[in-house]
Amino acid sequence: MTTLKDLIINNYPKEVNLEDGTKVIFRPLLKDDQQGLLEYFQSLPEEDRACLKDEVTDPQVIENWIYDMDYDNLLPLLALHQRRIIGDATLHFSQIGWSKHQGEIRLTTDPQYRVRGLGTLLVQELIDVATQLGLEQLSAEMPPELDKAFYLFEKLGFKETAILKDFVRDLKGKETDLVLMTRSLI
- Domains of the chain: residue spans and CATH: 4-136 (3.40.630.30)
Task: Give the list of residues 6+ apart from residue 89 with CB closer than 8 angstroms, or none.
Answer: 76, 77, 79, 105, 106, 107, 108, 122, 123, 125, 126
> pLDDT, tens digit, for every residue of 19-52?
999 999 999 999 999 999 999 999 998 878 877 8
Which residue, among 118, 130, 133, has the nearest Cα to 158 in the 3D structure?
Answer: 130
Coil, helix or strand at residue 102: strand
Give the C-alpha separation, 177 to 186, whole Å.
Answer: 29
* pTM for the structure as a whole: 0.92
The confidence band for 1, taking pLDDT boundaries of 50, 70 and 90, is low
> pLDDT, tens digit, for every residue of 61-82?
999 989 888 888 899 999 999 9
Strand blocks (E) in 74-174: 74-81, 84-93, 102-109, 137-142, 159-169
